[in-house]
Amino acid sequence: MIKLNNIYYSYYQKFSALADVGLAIGSGEKVAVIGSNGSGKSTLLQIIAGLLFPSKGDYYFHDTAVTESALKEKNFLRFFRQKIGYVFQDSDIQLFCPTVIDELLFGPLQIGLSREEAMDRSIEILQMLKIENLKDRPTYMISGGEKKRVALGSVLTMNPDVLLLDEPTNGLDPRTQVFLLELVLSLNEAGKTIVIATHDLSLVSELHSRVAVLSEEHRVEKVGTADEILYDEELLLKVNLIHEHIHYHDGQAHSHLHSHYLFHKH
Amino acid sequence: MKSNIPPFLLSSFNPAHTRGGGRADISYLDKGIRSFAALFTEGYALWELSSRRSFLHDLDARIKIVFWMLLIVVISLKRAVLPEAAIFIFMFTLAALCRLNLIAFYKKVLMLGFVFGFLISFPSAFNIFVPGTVMLPVITLSRMHDFWIYHIPQVIGITDSGISLVSLLTLRVLNSVSVSFLILYTTPFTDIVKALKVFRVPDTFLIIISMTYKYIFTFAHIVSDMYLAKKARLAGSNDSKEAREWIAGRIAFVFKKTQLECEEVFKAMNARGFSGDIRLYHHRDLTGRDWEIGLVLFAATVGCLVL
C-alpha cells in the first residue's frame, strides 16, 4: 500500500533529514519507526502524509505516485487525505477549531459528508474516546492527555485507512498511555494500518509491530520484527537508543544498559 | 475496546475515481502562510551568509556598526548626485570584495531603492512640486492655474532639477540599503546586537531585541506547523472566507501562546538568577587587524564626505 524508494530529504537544502530511505508497508500492518532524536522519524511520517515532498526518490500510495502535483488534483487530494490520517506530536498545533466538537467535525465536513453524518461520527468518536463531557469545551481549556485524545479523534472522524502517529505517548500519564495503546491495537485489529514514530522501546515491545530503525545518519539501519530489533543490543547501541547507565538498587550502585524494560537483567 | 469502535471505522472509503476532478485551488492566504513559513529558510540563509569568511566578515562587529552609522550620516549629508554615485560604487566594491552573491544582493537593494526611493520621490520630478526648466513636457493645459499655495503651470512636465532631486533621493535610499544589507550579510545578528553596546544601548534593551528576533522564528515555526496540521485534514479546496476565519483563530491562538511563553521565559530567567539587571558577555578585544581595516573604512568614509 505504501512504498518508499530511495527517499532523500533535507531541510534548507543543507541539513539532511533522510538519506536513501526505502520502506514498504502493507495494508493492515502495524509498523514502528524508531530512532534517536533528529534521526528523521517525523520527517518520514510527514512525507508519508504528503505534507513534505522528498528532494529525491519516489513515494507510491496504492501504486500512485504521491507528488506535489498529484496532490493538486481534487479527486486524488480527497482520496489521499481521507485514506491517511496524521496525528502530530504536539496536539496544540493540531487543534485549531474553537471547541472539541468543532475539531471532530472539521475533517468529515472537508471530505463532503453531510452535517448529520459528520455529527453522528463525531458523537460516536467522543464516546469511544470517553470525552463526551468535553464536547463544547474550548481546546485550550483541556489537559494534555485530553488534547491527545481530541487530536486522535479529529483524525478518526475522517475514517482513514492509515494512521500515522508521531510520538503518541510523549508527555502522557501512564493511564492515558495504556488507553492510547489499547485503542491503537484495537484499531489495527479493525483493519487500520498503523505507523508510529517513537523512541519509546517499551511502546514498540507492547505494540509488537514490525520495526524500522533509523540511524543517526538518517538511513534505515534495519527492518525486522519487534523481537529481532529489541534484542539486538549492538544495533540499539549503534543508533543511540540505549546506553549504559548507573543507578541504585538496595543501596548499591550498579550499571547496565538502558532501556530498563529490555535489558534490566539481575 | 474493539466492541467500542464505531461501525463507520470498520468500513473503508473506496471512491470511483482517484485521479482528475480538476485542480484544487490554493487560496492566496495559504500562499501567504507558506511565504511566512519561508522565513526560516531566509533566516538560515542569512545566518549562513553572515558566518562566511572575508575581510568584512572577520572584522569586529563594533567597527562595522560604527562604519555603518558614519556612512549613513555621510549619505544623508551629501546633496549632490556625484558623491552619492561614488558611494554607490564604493558599496559595490565592498560587496564584491566580500564575495557576496551580487545578483541576489542587488536584486533586493534595487527593489527597495525603486519602491522607497524612486517611486516615492518621482512626483517631485514634475514642475508642479519643484520648479525648474521642463525637459520632458507631459501635459499642456490651456492656461496656468493658481489656487491657495499651489501653482499649476501651463506646461506640466519633468524638470532638470526634478530629475536631479529624484536621482539624489533614489541614490540615497540605494546607498543606505546597500550599507545596511552589507552589514547584515557579513555579521551574525547576535554580534550586531552585542555590538550596539558601543552606543551605550542598555543590556536590557539588547536582550529584548535578541529575544524578539528569536521568537519571530519560534512563532514562524508554530505557524508553519499549524499550516501543515490543517493541510493534513484538508481534503478539498479551501475558500478564502474559511482561510480568513482560520487565520483569525490562529492569530488568537498565537497571541495566547505568546502570553504563556512570555510568563514561562520570565520564570526561566528568574530561575537563573535574573534580578532586574542583565549582564551580557563582553566582546573579544579588538585586534591590530580590526584597527587597520577600521582605519581604512574610516578614511574611505571621510573621503566620501569631502567629495
List the CATH number of the domain containing A48: 3.40.50.300
CB within 8 Å of A189: residues ≥ 6 apart: B2
Note whether B236 and A111 are within 8 A (CB).
yes
Tell me if residue B262 falls in helix, strand or coil.
Answer: helix
**A174-189 vs A144-156: helix axis angle to the nearest 10?**
10
**From the list B10, B21, B253, which residue is nearest A75 (CB)?**
B21
Range in A83-92, A124-133, B77-86, B244-253 the model is least confident about: B244-253
What residues of A are in contact with residue B12 (Cβ under 8 Å)?
A: 159, 161, 191
Measured distance between the N- and C-terminal CA atoms of chain B, rounded to whole angstroms? 85
Share above pLDDT 70 across residues of chain B, in percent, rounded to a whole number: 83
A139 is written with which cell numbers? 481546546
CA atoms of B60 and B47, how far apart (whole Å): 16
Is B260 part of the contact surface with chain A (CB cutoff 8 Å)?
A: no
What residues of B are in contact with residue A112 (Cβ under 8 Å)?
A: 235-236
Residue A126 identity (one-letter amino acid): L
Whether the predicted pLDDT of B278 surpasses 60: yes
Which of A74, A128, A131, A167 to mutate: most B Cβ within 10 Å? A74
Is A86 part of the contact surface with chain B (CB cutoff 8 Å)?
A: yes
Exposure of A137 in the CB half-sphere (CA atoms within 13 A): 14
CA distance B41 to chain A (A): 6
What residues of A are in contact with residue B22 (Cβ under 8 Å)?
A: 73-74
A128-148 confidence digits (pLDDT tens) = 999 999 998 888 788 888 999
Give the pTM. 0.72
Residue B283 backbone phi and psi in degrees, to 5: -70, 165
> Is residue A50 a part of any domain in this protein?
yes
pLDDT at B231: 80
Note whether A169 and A205 are within 8 A (CB).
no
Whether the predicted pLDDT of B93 surpasses 90: yes
| Enclosing H/E stretch for B200 | none
pLDDT at B276: 64
A48-75 confidence digits (pLDDT tens) = 999 889 999 999 999 999 998 888 888 8
B157-172 confidence digits (pLDDT tens) = 899 999 999 999 999 9
Q: What share of chain B is helix, strand, coil (3-state, %, to 5)?
A: 70, 5, 25
> Is residue A62 a part of any domain in this protein?
yes
Beta bridge partners of B111: none
Q: Find the closest chain B residue to A65 by CA distance.
A: B19
User: Higher model confidence: residue A235 or residue B215?
Assistant: A235
What are the DSSP calls for A172-233, one per residue? --HHHHHHHHHHHHHHHHTT-EEEEEE--HHHHHHHT-EEEEEPTTSSEEEEEEHHHHHT-H
| B212 — pLDDT class (breaks 50, 70, 90) | confident
**From the list B17, B45, B237, which residue is nearest A75 (CB)?**
B17
**From the list A62, A96, A125, which residue is nearest B250 (CB)?**
A96
| B211 — pLDDT class (breaks 50, 70, 90) | confident
Is A148 part of the contact surface with chain B (CB cutoff 8 Å)?
A: no
Tell me the mean pLDDT in the region B82-108.
Answer: 91
**From the list B2, B5, B20, which residue is nearest A73 (CB)?**
B20
Whether the predicted pLDDT of B37 surpasses 70: no
CB contact under 8 A, B256 and A85: no
**From the list B1, B12, B230, which residue is nearest A186 (CB)?**
B1
Domain hosting A41: range is 2-93+162-263
> Is residue A145 a part of any domain in this protein?
no
> Is residue A60 a part of any domain in this protein?
yes
Note whether A65 and A59 are within 8 A (CB).
yes
Is A89 part of the contact surface with chain B (CB cutoff 8 Å)?
A: no
pLDDT at A110: 79
pLDDT at A232: 87
Beta bridge partners of A25: A2
**From the list B23, B40, B41, which residue is nearest A73 (CB)?**
B23
Residue A16 backbone phi and psi in degrees, to 5: -70, 135
Note whether A31 and A82 are within 8 A (CB).
no
Is A124 part of the contact surface with chain B (CB cutoff 8 Å)?
A: yes
| A160 — pLDDT class (breaks 50, 70, 90) | very high
* Closest-CA residue to B62 (of B204, B213, B200, B181): B200
Whether the predicted pLDDT of B243 surpasses 60: yes
C-alpha distances (whole Å) from A130 to each of A122, A140, A170, A173 are: 12, 18, 20, 16
C-alpha distances (whole Å) from A250 to each of A90, A259, A261, A262 are: 39, 19, 19, 20
pLDDT at A40: 92
CB contact under 8 A, A127 and B4: yes
**B288-306 vs B61-77: helix axis angle to the nearest 10?**
0
B147 is written with which cell numbers? 489656487
Whether the predicted pLDDT of B17 surpasses 70: no
What residues of B are in contact with residue A64 (Cβ under 8 Å)?
A: 18-19
Whether the predicted pLDDT of B1 surpasses 60: no
CA distance B219 to chain A (A): 11
Whether the predicted pLDDT of A23 surpasses 90: yes
Tell me if residue A160 falls in helix, strand or coil.
Answer: coil
CA atoms of B169 and B118, how far apart (whole Å): 7
CB contact under 8 A, B226 and A77: no
Burial A133-143 (b: 16+ CB within 10 A, else e): ebeeeebeebe
pLDDT at A186: 92
> Is residue A43 a part of any domain in this protein?
yes
Residue A67 identity (one-letter amino acid): T
Note whether A41 and A212 are within 8 A (CB).
no
Place of cell 459528520: A118
CA atoms of B268 and A214, how far apart (whole Å): 34
CA atoms of A85 and A164, how far apart (whole Å): 6
Whether the predicted pLDDT of A188 surpasses 50: yes
Q: Find the closest chain B residue to A27 by CA distance.
A: B12
CB within 8 Å of B167: residues ≥ 6 apart: B81
CB within 8 Å of B234: residues ≥ 6 apart: A81, A110
CB contact under 8 A, B253 and A82: no
CB contact under 8 A, B226 and A93: yes
Beta bridge partners of A9: A18
pLDDT at A132: 92
> Is residue A101 a part of any domain in this protein?
no
Q: In chain A, positions 229-258, which contact chain B (CB-CB < 8 Å)?
A: none
What residues of B are in contact with residue A78 (Cβ under 8 Å)?
A: 15, 21, 235-236
Tell me the mean pLDDT in the region A143-169.
Answer: 92
- The Cα angle at residue A179 between residues A176 and A182, in degrees rounded to 5: 150
Total CB pairs under 8 A between chain A and B: 133
**From the list B4, B45, B232, which residue is nearest A86 (CB)?**
B232
CA atoms of B23 and A201, how far apart (whole Å): 43
pLDDT at B113: 93
B99 is written with which cell numbers? 564575495
Whether the predicted pLDDT of A254 surpasses 70: no
* Closest-CA residue to B111 (of B177, B161, B60, B166): B177
pLDDT at A266: 45
CB contact under 8 A, A191 and B1: no
The chain-wide mean pLDDT, for chain B, equals 82
pLDDT at A185: 93
Tell me the mean pLDDT in the region B66-83.
Answer: 92
How many domains does chain A contain in total?
1
Tell me the mean pLDDT in the region A246-254.
Answer: 66
- The Cα angle at residue A42 between residues A37 and A46, in degrees rounded to 5: 165
| Enclosing H/E stretch for A86 | strand A84-87
Q: Find the closest chain B residue to A126 by CA distance.
A: B6
> Is residue A31 a part of any domain in this protein?
yes
Tell me the mean pLDDT in the region B22-43.
Answer: 68
The chain-wide mean pLDDT, for chain A, equals 87
Note whether A210 and A196 are within 8 A (CB).
no
CA atoms of A222 and A235, how far apart (whole Å): 8
Whether the predicted pLDDT of B261 surpasses 70: yes
Whether the predicted pLDDT of B41 surpasses 70: no
CA atoms of A85 and B246, how far apart (whole Å): 20
Whether the predicted pLDDT of B44 surpasses 80: no
User: Higher model confidence: residue A246 or residue A231?
Assistant: A231
Whether the predicted pLDDT of A98 surpasses 90: no
Q: Find the closest chain A residue to B247 by CA distance.
A: A96
User: Higher model confidence: residue B301 or residue B210?
Assistant: B301
Note whether A226 and A207 are within 8 A (CB).
yes
Q: Find the closest chain A residue to B2 by CA distance.
A: A186
CB within 8 Å of B247: residues ≥ 6 apart: B29, B33
Range in A162-166, B44-48, B99-103, B185-189 the model is least confident about: B44-48
B102 is written with which cell numbers? 551580487
> Is residue A116 a part of any domain in this protein?
no
